[in-house]
């Protein structure tokens, strides 16, 4: 009985991980899309200002945290 319970728990963990992994991949794709939508240098219609610099710095800070976390997990 304990072995059957362990197998069930393992299957539930694998399913939850698979869903979480898929979500992470979807989020990465969305991040790429959103980065493309951010102001780009040389765009006269929306010139870069210091607020944009702060925004991209914040994004980079969050991404560095994610990379560091994943590197420690490997």
The whole-angstrom separation of Cα 74 and Cα 72 is: 6
pLDDT digits over 23-71, tens only?
Answer: 999 999 999 999 999 988 888 888 999 999 999 999 999 999 999 999 9
pLDDT digits over 59-70, tens only?
Answer: 999 999 999 999
Q: Give residue for tokens 């939850």.
A: 16
């Amino acid at each position: 009985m304990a072995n059957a319970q362990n197998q069930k728990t393992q299957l539930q963990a694998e399913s939850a991980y698979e869903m979480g992994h898929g979500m992470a991949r979807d989020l990465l794709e969305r991040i790429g899309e959103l980065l493309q939508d951010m102001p780009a240098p040389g765009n006269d219609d929306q010139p870069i200002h210091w607020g944009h610099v702060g925004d991209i710095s914040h994004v980079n800070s969050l991404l560095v945290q994610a990379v560091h976390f994943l590197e420690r997990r490997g």
